[in-house]
């Protein structure tokens, strides 16, 4: 939760005073880097690449599932390792947007169709609005927060 609080304070301070803004060239470079990282996150989820996800997720990441369940990094990765949730496809349409909120923070939002199966073999398909927050620290860019919200028809 410390990272989430820090993120909220950074975003509020940045918005109010503009002191952490990135130049246009920096923002474009950050956006490109974040798009690549987020594509890697999706690929790692589809391949169930727990090592890649372990590296990408911050230690104090908050993961809010579309049904409202809240996970931390370790329980979420343990659930994936146990096969409780297996991602079959993740498609964004249109491509997700990237907001560069400063040199150290970026937010990816989009509408995704996600197909997955449960450990019991039940197939599910959901259309979600997602938000993934990245923060850059000494270890590089990390996912500090993810939230999926069902799109109501």
Per the CB < 8 A criterion, the answer to whether 145 and 7 are in contact is yes
In a domain, 96, yes or no: yes
**Average pLDDT over the chain, rounded to whole?**
90
In a domain, 55, yes or no: yes
Neighbours of 133 (CB within 10 A): 24
In a domain, 34, yes or no: yes
In a domain, 132, yes or no: yes
DSSP states of the chain:
-HHHHHHHHHHHHHHHH-TTPPPHHHHHHHHHHHHHHHHHHHHHHHHT-HHHHHHHEEEEEEEE-TTS-EEEHHHHHHHHHTTSEEEEEEEESSPPEEEE-SSSEEEEEEEEEEEEEETT--EEEEEEEEEEEEEEETTEEEEEEEEEEEPP-
Q: Mean pLDDT over residues 31-51, rounded?
A: 98
Per the CB < 8 A criterion, the answer to whether 30 and 101 are in contact is no
What are the structure tokens assigned to 56, written together? 């990408």
CATH number at residue 142: 3.10.450.50
* Confidence (pLDDT) at 21: 61
Task: Report residue 121 CA to chain centroid gap.
Answer: 25
List the domain range (segments joined by +) for residue 133: 2-10+21-150
In a domain, 67, yes or no: yes
The answer on pLDDT for 133 being more than 80 is yes
Q: Mean pLDDT over residues 129-151, rounded?
A: 97
pLDDT-derived band of residue 2, with 50, 70 and 90 as boundaries? low
In a domain, 16, yes or no: no
In a domain, 106, yes or no: yes
Question: How many domains does the structure of the chain reveal?
Answer: 1
In a domain, 15, yes or no: no
């Amino acid at each position: 939760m410390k990272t989430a609080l820090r993120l909220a304070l950074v975003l509020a301070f940045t918005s109010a005073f503009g002191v952490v803004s990135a130049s246009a060239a920096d923002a474009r470079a950050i956006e490109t880097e974040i798009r690549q990282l987020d594509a890697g996150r999706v690929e790692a989820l589809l391949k169930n690449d727990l090592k890649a996800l372990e590296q990408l997720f911050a230690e104090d990441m908050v993961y809010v599932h579309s049904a409202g369940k809240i996970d931390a990094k370790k329980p979420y990765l343990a659930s994936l390792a146990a096969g409780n949730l297996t991602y079959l496809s993740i498609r964004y349409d249109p491509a997700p947007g990237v907001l560069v909120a400063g040199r150290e923070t970026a937010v990816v939002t989009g509408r995704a169709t996600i197909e997955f199966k449960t450990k019991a073999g039940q197939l599910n398909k959901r259309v979600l609005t997602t938000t993934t927050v990245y923060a850059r620290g000494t270890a590089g860019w990390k996912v500090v927060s993810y939230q999926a919200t069902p799109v109501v028809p």
